[in-house]
Structure 1
Amino acid sequence: MTAGFVRTVPAVLERFGSTFSEFTAAFHEGQYVLWLGSGISRDRVPNVYVLLERVVEHLRSKIVNDDADCEYRAALSEVLRLAGLGREELESVDFSMPAEDWPLRDRILSTLVTNYSRVLDVLVGDDKPEDYLVWTGLDVPNTYGSPDLEPDVEHYCIAILMLEGLVASAVTANWDGLLEKALGELTPAFGSLVRVAVKPDDFRMTGPRIEVIKFHGCAVRARDEEPEYRDLLIARESQISRWTEQPENRSMRKHLEVLYTDRLTLMLGLSAQDANLHTVFAGAIQDLARPWPASPPAVVLSEEHLESYHRNLLKITYGSNHQGNAGVIAESALLGAYGKSTLLALVLSSLTEKLSMLVEHEIERVWGSAAVRQLQTDLLGLRDLAASHADPDDPESLEHSAIVEFQREFAARLIDLTNLGLTVFRAGRMPTAGGGRYVPLSDRPIAQAVLNADYPSKQFGRLGVALALIGRGLASGHWSAVQGDSRAAGDGVVRLVTGQRNARVFFVKDSTTLTELELEGSFDDSDEDVLIVIADTEPPAQTRSPKSRFGRDGKASAGRFSVASSIADTASPDDLYEAFKLAGGF
């Protein structure tokens, strides 16, 4: 089996580079579909245990004490029988006490968790709607559909991976709208980029390159358009058991089957225990069975342990090939990490991989493969240094909530820094301070992006080279780095700090972008604590501020480092590194 679980981002990255390297390479090519469950929202909406306690307490609080035929009492008794209580135990439960005070509370709720769909199918009298315990007991509009819910690390990371063109489809059983909200916050083009499919008609919307498929319904739409979407909320056993056979679900089922048949699967926070999911997977595999050995793995589970329903999923997926290979198939599927760490690692890994390929695209023809590998190693060092700040130093001493908040702050800084750096690089302007937007490095896998004549692959490759040089300086202890902040425009994209220097660094793709940045007032060309890194050949020096190519001429002025010119004037990454230090005055 996979060597234990991993709970930090650096540990997940190490696994991506070793036992899961084939998965990682395929993910960077955009081959995986995400299948998402409640685990990715567990820190934003109540878990099943809490929700079931809410249902129990709702029924208890509605009991009319002097009514022997009270429909709420009858429903609650049926729920408690699903918890396996015998007659004497059932009679011992004091309905006059809040459920949280019951001596058998923990046992009852722990048992009900595994029977949640049966609990929600319990009827309350003859006049209440069949979904009463879902809609009213769980209070779906204000629990899952609340506009006050805020996306978490997982939702933002998935949104980034989608905007980077690495994930085209996310299939979710979740009712909440947190992924859609994250996408809406990160891009102003949500309406044209994203298709949210809740009912069959939604698949007719063509054009968007990103799709979020909510096969169990959407609480946000149900809140806003109850007559049309309330009945689409799937949670009760009677709904789940007949879901795949209902004609109105045929289009959704076929779409899911095609995704499972044709694409590779990464599951995050999804138990995959519902019967309708297993029917979908089984139907998909009937059309095209998965072979073994499989490279890359057909299914990867972002879990620490395999439960029986995961093993059943793997058995369905690999069919007759599962017999005799169960152990190695399980090892190929079990990542050993939960969603937050997995997704943060995927974002860092994917951005670094894109830059690494762009560096290769730019440098191999000039200096050869050995130089490319050296620069890529420096980029990986920069990635790993960033990843070392994704988790608190001593997580074992902290409450779960403190760890989650630390990771949220890291994700927010990562989004802000990426948006800051790429907006300055592309457009020569500072993004809206604290705006929360995200500018992708490319909107498709990088092997496809470089084929687009309009994609600035050379400039981005040179940006990758500059970042590799910074990574080398950090690894060697030559300087430390302080990341920029969109709310402090004059501080640069990053500050490189030594005992003698505190250089504010801006990255721009060409002289036009540089001019735009200066005209905006983001830096003063006479400020010697500024270093401008230009991807393209350095423009001719202006009369008003003459300076040499490699930076300084004795006058107080901003340093300049042209990546293209410096590559042409040096013979190796080592020489280039020395030229960078000279230009920056380090």
Structure 2
Amino acid sequence: MSPDHPPHLRDVAAALELIKGPHSALLEDVMEGDRVLWLGSGISRNQVPPLAELIQKVLVYLQEQSAGNPGSPFRKALSEIVHARFSDEIQESFDADPAGWTVPSIKALEPYVEKYASILNHGVGDEPADFLLWTAVDIRATYGSSDIRPGQNHRLIAILMHEGVLPHVVTTNWDGLIESSYRSLMENGSGSDISVLMTQEDFRAHHRSSSTRLYKIHGCAVRANDGQEYRDYLVADTLDIVKWGQSGDPHQRILQEVTNLMTDHRTLVLGLSFQDNNLIQVHANATFTHPWKWEEAKPAYVVADRRLQDGHTNILKSAYGNDYTSNRALVQDKSLLPLYAEPLLAALVIRIIGLKIAALLRRMGDLEDQLLKQSLLEALDIRQDLLSRVADSRPDLLESLLTHFLSPLMRLYHGDSDPLNGYLPIIRGPLSLAATDPAAEHNRLPEAASVVGLLNYLDLSAGWRVRFEHEPDRAGLVRIDRYRSTSLLIAFVKDEHAAAVAMKMEAWQKPLERIIVARLTGTGVPRRQRSPRGNMGTARRPGELAHEVVMNDVWQEATSSKDLITSFSRRMSI
């Protein structure tokens, strides 16, 4: 790895330590929904062309269109761009042979990315002002195609949205990858869609929505595919940036909304350099009258990047006013989180979900022994550390653990007949909700958290192994092995209704191995109808392939972690 990309910038374990330690205030804000997330092109760089490639597409298009016609408006536009925006060396190369000129590589064009807006600002004959963006770049296909798949950044952000800790996200990106990631995790036929905000009509339509609000301040290529009326919302060239939000411009409403947002909320910046002047103006307007007071322990702006860029420092100057001048070095140092977006997002997901489970577990009434409860909490912390250490080499592991294990586990626990029907967090909302919401106890969420804690504890104990089932017809089931000789499937459910749903699964109806429905509430196992296979006997008696147990007294019997394992083993006959 090059010196410009030191390993710690991509290290999830390092990110987890930073948000647990020196940047714990950032974690506290995010997990309570108190940070506005600002996103730029950096989070989509592996899915859509970066700005250097966008510039290259413009140059290649003009060169191809001017082939054999040196007097065409395309050749004239190309010549103007080369001579106005590029180095003497590139100009000389072009002048030596305009017809045979080789467009520079993407790497060679990287020093010019800050000029992308001025390059797109050049006109081509009598074509519309946005011709280079609309036709040469082909923004609708390049950034708005349905074939473009989200990356890990988008999926992790979508998980945090569904967790209910990102109420406001502002993006300059034209792509629709945040939206598609969010919708891919939605429950079919229900659930609250993400509120995508761009036009006046959007704000009217979503004014009562409780879902995440995504402010697309530079327009949307996906919606540009839906109709010409969205073309004017695309912001790309210098004139677009200068006119943005001014009288007669269609962005006036979103400027108003985002300015109000930034007046009252702290910010986390990912993949965004703030090189466009309109972005700096938003933050300057928001803090001109009421600048933020500098607090070393809780910076109003945190930028996750390898270094602060000019746009970042301009934002900090406007945010803190005189406090910036008198604390310049300290403000810059404490406002920079030396990480790329991906490891930071992974660390936030790991930590926030872990803390939610821990907060619910602490409310488990049947788990009265504090030392035992502490053992389960420590197991959750160890799991977070282990996940952070393997997340770099296995970036898919965290997503798989959440979407194919924890979420199906929760759906089956609540009695959902389709455990793969969208992402279901253990509790949706800020961390404080997990600690105080009375509805959590009504929905038996402390019991669910205790199951997760127990499974973590068992998996970390010698001789035990806990796995989740990958097959769709077994989603939500947990496989527990002991000493590599005894294995069984378990469906953890909260009540009688959920138990009845679990017993309709094929793994229960036609058992080929031991399967248990473990009910977390109740005092006795009612008689169930006989197994469909006839030769199984009554499905409730231990020793048969399929039977039901009640787990609530497992917690009551245990006074130590050793007791817990003994009680669980006896109850499950494992």
TM-score (norm 2): 0.88
Partner of 1:460: 445
Deviation at 1:543, TM superposition (A): 8.1
The offset of 1:40, in angstroms, is 1.4
3-state DSSP class of the match of 2:117?
A: helix
**Would you say the 8 A contact 2:410–2:476 is kept in 1?**
no
Tell me how far 1:95 sits from its aligned partner. 3.0
Q: In structure 2, which of residues 298, 301, 304 is the aligned counterpart of residue 299 of structure 1?
A: 301
Unaligned runs of 5+ in 2: 1-5, 531-539
Q: Note closer, same or farther for the CA distance 1:290–1:363 as it changes in structure 2 (3 Å cut).
A: farther
Report deviation, 1:459.
2.1
The match for 2:412 is: 424
1-side partners of 2:408 and 2:90: how far apart?
A: 65
Q: Which residue of 2 aligns with 1:582?
A: 570
Q: 1:120 touches 1:133 (CA, 8 Å); kept in 2?
A: yes
> Compared with structure 1, are the counterparts of its residues 372 and 286 closer, same or farther at alpha carbon in structure 2 (3 Å cutoff)?
farther
Equivalent runs, 1:2-151 vs 2, <5 Å: 5-67=8-70, 69-81=71-83, 82-85=85-88, 89-97=92-100, 99-100=102-103, 105=105, 109-125=109-125, 127-151=126-150
SS in 1 for 2:196: strand
- The 3 A distance-change label for structure 1 pair 491 and 214 is closer
Number of the residue aligned with 1:382 = 383
Q: Counterparts of 1:498-537 in structure 2 under 5 Å?
A: 498-523=483-508, 529-537=514-522
8 A contact 1:303–1:335 mirrored in 2: yes
2:244 is matched with 243
Deviation at 1:76, TM superposition (A): 1.0
Is contact 2:143-2:222 (8 Å) kept? yes
Which secondary structure does the structure 1 equivalent of 2:46 belong to? coil
> 1:497 and 1:60, CA in 2 relative to 1: closer, same or farther beyond 3 A?
farther
2:318 alignment counterpart: 316
Distance (Å, rounded) in 2 between the aligned partners of 1:280 and 1:424: 46
Q: Is the 8 A contact 2:366 2:555 kept in 1?
A: no
Query: How do 1:38-437 and structure 2 match up within 5 A?
Result: 38-67=41-70, 69-81=71-83, 82-85=85-88, 89-97=92-100, 99-100=102-103, 105=105, 109-125=109-125, 127-187=126-186, 188=188, 192-205=192-205, 206-209=207-210, 210-226=212-228, 228-248=229-249, 249-363=251-365, 366-368=368-370, 371-392=372-393, 407-408=395-396, 410-412=398-400, 414-432=402-420, 437=422
Once the 2 structures are TM-superposed, how far is the Cα of residue 66 of structure 1 from its aligned partner? 4.8
Cα deviation, residue 290, structure 1: 1.2
- Offset at 1:5? 3.2
Q: Structure 2: how far apart are the matches of 1:74 and 1:177? A: 34
Shift of 1:230: 0.6
Q: Tell me, what secondary structure is at the counterpart of 1:289?
A: coil
* Structure 1: runs of 5 or more not aligned: 393-405, 546-551
Tell whether the 8 Å contact from 1:420 to 1:493 is kept in structure 2 after alignment. Answer: no
* Rounded Cα–Cα distance in structure 1 between residues aligned with 2:487 and 2:237: 61
Partner Cα separation in structure 2 for residue 190 and residue 315 of structure 1? 45
The answer to whether the 8 Å contact 1:496/1:504 transfers is: no
In structure 2, distance between residues paired with 1:191 and 1:571: 41
Is the 2:411–2:476 contact (alpha carbons within 8 Å) kept by the matching residues of 1? no
Aligned pair in 2 of structure 1 residues 97, 156: CA closer, same or farther (>3 Å)?
A: same
Cα 1:189–1:328, aligned 2, differ >3 Å: closer, same or farther? Answer: farther
1:157 is displaced (CA, Å) by 1.6
Secondary structure at the aligned position of 2:127 is classed as coil
Aligned to 2:533: none
Query: 2 CA distance for matches of 1:60 and 1:99?
Result: 9
C-alpha distance in structure 2 between counterparts of 1:182 and 1:354, whole Å: 23
Q: Is the 8 A contact 2:372 2:559 kept in 1?
A: no
Pick closer, same or farther for the CA change 1:22–1:313 going to 2, 3 Å: same
**Cα drift, residue 54 of structure 1:** 0.8
Deviation at 1:236, TM superposition (A): 0.5
How much has 1:330 moved relative to structure 2?
2.9
Q: How much does 1:574 deviate?
A: 4.4
The TM-score with structure 1 as length reference comes to 0.86
Deviation at 1:64, TM superposition (A): 4.9
